[in-house]
Chain A
Amino acid sequence: MQVIYQEGESLLHRLNPLSKVVAVVPVLLFVALTTDPWLPLAFIALASAVIVGPARITPGTFWRLQAPLTISLLVFMILYPFMVRAELFDRTPVVLRLGPLVLYQGAVLAGMAAVLRVYAMFLLSLIFMLTTDISDFIRAMVQQWRFPYRLGYGILAAFHFMPLLQEEFRLIQAAHRIRGIETHSGVRVHIERLRRYAIPLLTSAIRRAERTALAMESRAFGALKQRSYFRRFCFSRADYLFILCFWLLCLLVIALFWRYGWMGPLSFTKEL
């Protein structure tokens, strides 16, 4: 999460991390239940608008961050109609015939729906991820939702580790290459190689973890049952307002789609 967090001062950045979770998660769950492509499409538009609007993420950055997922989803969307069991959709019209391959309209729509649903969910979670510092999120959870603080701060320390371990992995890789290790590929060679990386990586990770633990305990971490907080996390009026507005907006979209019959069945009402 820290990896794609974009520092900023926007309206969304200043909100309590948990209010964003409260606002987004129900909508996310609802989108997960849709089966038609149209409603997810609307939420894609809505989430994108929030990200480049009130969250002040530049369209360029936004595009760059979501591009890898978009590409893999597109690939999936193209392959899906060919891979899916044909008897599920053979009652729908045929769109295309390529020799033995038959493309049914139902299969295309189902593939699109699946992809758009995942994409919409991804964008909705981006609203949270792009604007929330992981340390704020964990601290807010510890303070407001009684998440155990020893665990929470342990996770925070682990986040410091990630880039260091990545760097370490890169170094070990280079070091081994310089030793003149066979460069040819193959599953066995690959597994052997990973095993060799694991030992130095683990020793240095353990050493580092030990040092961090000592440094934390030297500052009385975990010494008392309670902890006080310099920065209090709580819901302000802006947070409630944001949750309310976001929900209302989403409800409005859903209501419109329902009213005009574009919503399609939800997964639990749909009969197979």
Chain B
Amino acid sequence: MSETRTTLIEIEDLTVKYPGRRMSALEHLQLQLRAGETVLLLGPSGSGKSTLALTLNGLIPHSIGKLQSGHVRVAGLDTRQTTVATLAQRVGILFQDPEAQFVMFTVEDEIAFGLENLCFSPDEMERRISDSLRLVGLTELRYRRVEQLSGGEKQRVALAALLALEPEILVFDEPTANLDPQGTREVFDLLRRCKETGRYTIVLIEHRLDELMDLVERMVVLGKRGEVVIDGRPREVLRAHLSTLQGLGVWVPQVARLAHVLQQHGWSLEPFPLTLSEAAEALKGRRAFRAGHQDSSAPLTSTAVHNDGQQRCSASPPTRSEPDQGEAAIEVCSLSYRAAGRQVLQDISLAIPRGALLALVGANGAGKTTLAQHLIGVLQPPRGCVRLLGRDITTISARELTRHVGYVFQNPEHQFITEAVEDEVAYGLRVMGPPATEVQERTRALLERFNLLSLARANPFTLSHGEKRRLSVATMLAMGQEILILDEPTFGQDEYNATALLELLWQLHSEGRTIVVITHDMSLVATYAQYVAVMNHGRLLFYGTPAALFTHAELLAEARLMLPPLAQLARRLGWSDLLTLEELCERCLQDSARELAEPLAAADGAASVEGGRPCK
């Protein structure tokens, strides 16, 4: 059907450069988008996805950047010869940061802003404002002040402001990156509604893909230099090029990853699943098929599982069922905190055992960061409320505290205090005052470990996003801190960098350090966390293992959290105890192995698979 659609956006041989940069942001890009299409645009960080978005509404070249070559035509209009005013009525871009998009102070004024810029009459504005508010479902918030809205509501207002201009093309540039799970869901629902109206051509830049894949009709993947590497229907792209995508470091739907791993074991799922329902169907069908035929595919060995199950298995700690066993690294005892007339923390008690990897989850404003700030002396807890490594935190001097606890802020730049990467790492060491040679040695060792040695002389602010994050973790370990707290460590990172960082955390955890991760990423919780603490409205709602948490559907709903995609899939298949890709894969293979083994009565493979504990 898409073949009959007319071409709406035509990009030919596009090369874009920003002034002051050596590399071009996009290179000889060739792309045609048809009217009504929903296109997912993927690419590693720095591949020019956002740049491409800005070329569509003419901000490149009219406001920033330069078209070195080529041209962009939107609905037949060459963007070079068309004013931004005209293009703004064709293309609306929803940006990542809801805060940075607002000019006015109330919802109504904010929506009117764009219309006023284009000199619409008040009557027309009234019509469009109420229409767009209705579409995003915020009619009752029309007179609210924007700062009182939640993150999800802010993005909906921002979208309403775009929809009021009645564009035919909507670009979503990572609209959920700054949002908690609840806000993400709101935005996705809205995206779905936009798609259903059939009025819009949608270009989507996103990395939480599992809930969206049913909307996507086409996938376009940009390479590192900003050229189109892959372009096709999602099913074909994910089936044929998944390893290329993973090599580029872009996020892919987890269902597709699972299907791919299974494929490597000779399990081909038909059709190649893109969404949870498809995967559930395919796997159920597969099981039924198996039960009927008993045919065999590739031989199964436990090493094969472990190749994909990753080396983390070997480092898997002895499983503890209760968080309160063992000596506590951090002990919080009925901690409450009020700020600006609001109860931010209410009677929080928890004990984090030494060497644990704990995930702290909850909606925005639930009190996660506030709690963490009590553990590092940014906020002062009352005496006797917080014990660190067995000592009351109020008796530990600020200087000494930094030697025991490292804290990685959401924005790593906040922590940089010197002008070179190596000084950054050495700084903490020097404060302690060991001999210079030792400082040098330890700095080198840390830089090497974090793969930053080649950048030792660079200014921290010039590093890439992933490098900055690694550096900030390195600086926080320089003094041999035993406890490490990280605020949203995977925020804004591509798959490659996020996974690299998490593997690093896992290593540190295996060395016996206590790690607390504040996160919205439930897949991270499922895959890496040993324990999870759920906060909601300043209270501790749950503290236990991820597996236990995921069995409490009503608790998850109360805390406005969602099951990670693969755990959802496992539920649909009736395996409610499984959380991760490795576990799911293992169970699938185990099932088929058992069926194989039954008639043969002897099964090395199955036995060894059963021996391998679920990979954390």
Q: Which residues of A contact B (CB under 8 A)?
A: 133, 135, 153, 156-157, 160, 163-164, 168, 171-172, 174-183, 196, 199-200, 203-204, 208, 211-224, 226-232
Contacts and interface: CB of A to CB of B under 8 A. Distances in A.
Interface of B: 54, 57, 59, 63-64, 83-85, 88-89, 92-93, 95, 97, 99-105, 108-109, 112-122, 125-126, 129, 147, 158, 161-162, 165, 373, 376-378, 398-399, 402-403, 406-407, 409, 411, 413-417, 427-428, 431, 461, 475, 479
A163 to B, nearest CB: 8
B256 to A, nearest CB: 32
Given A179-B428, A215-B101, A222 B117 contact: yes
B46 to A, nearest CB: 15
B154 to A, nearest CB: 12
Which are the 9 A-B pairs with shortest beta-carbon distances?
A: A219-B114, A223-B85, A211-B100, A230-B112, A180-B402, A220-B88, A175-B414, A215-B101, A220-B117
Contacts of B373: 174
Given A179-B415, A180-B431, A223-B84, A229 B104 contact: no
Which DSSP category, helix, strand, loop or mixed, fits chain B's interface?
helix
Contact of B413 (A200, A224, A231): A200
A135 B399 contact: no
B125 A204 contact: no
A176 B415 contact: yes
Given A222-B117, A223-B84, 15 more contacts: A160-B103, A164-B99, A174-B373, A178-B378, A182-B431, A183-B398, A214-B64, A218-B84, A220-B85, A220-B89, A220-B118, A221-B103, A223-B85, A223-B118, A224-B119
A164 B401 CA distance: 28
B98 to A, nearest CB: 10
Contact of A214 (B63, B118, B122): B63
Contact of A217 (B84, B118, B428): B84
Nearest to A7: B145
Given A200-B416, A217-B63, A157 B103 contact: yes
Given A135-B104, A180-B399, A214 B95 contact: yes
Contacts of B416: 199-200
A176 B122 contact: no
Which DSSP category, helix, strand, loop or mixed, fits chain A's interface?
helix
Contacts of B403: 180
A236 B414 CA distance: 50
A181 B479 CA distance: 13
Given A175-B409, A203-B413, A160 B99 contact: yes
13 contacts: A157-B102, A175-B407, A176-B417, A178-B402, A200-B411, A200-B416, A214-B63, A215-B103, A219-B161, A220-B84, A227-B119, A228-B119, A231-B112
Contacts of B102: 157, 160
A147 B92 CA distance: 29
A203 B461 contact: yes
A217 B461 contact: no
B378 A228 contact: no
A137 to B, nearest CB: 11
Given A135-B109, A228-B122, A230-B109, A217 B59 contact: yes
A227 B125 CA distance: 13
Contacts of B104: 135, 156
A215 B125 contact: no
B88 A218 contact: yes
A229 B413 contact: no
Contacts of A203: 413, 461
Contacts of A181: 417
Question: Which of A133, A163, A215 has the most chain B CB within a 10 Å cutoff?
Answer: A215
Contact of A208 (B100, B109, B377, B413): B100
Contacts of B409: 171, 175
B428 A224 contact: no
B415 A214 contact: no
Nearest to B84: A223
Nearest to B461: A203
A227 B119 CA distance: 5
B415 A175 contact: yes
A200 B158 CA distance: 27
Given A180-B399, A214-B95, A220-B88, A229 B103 contact: no
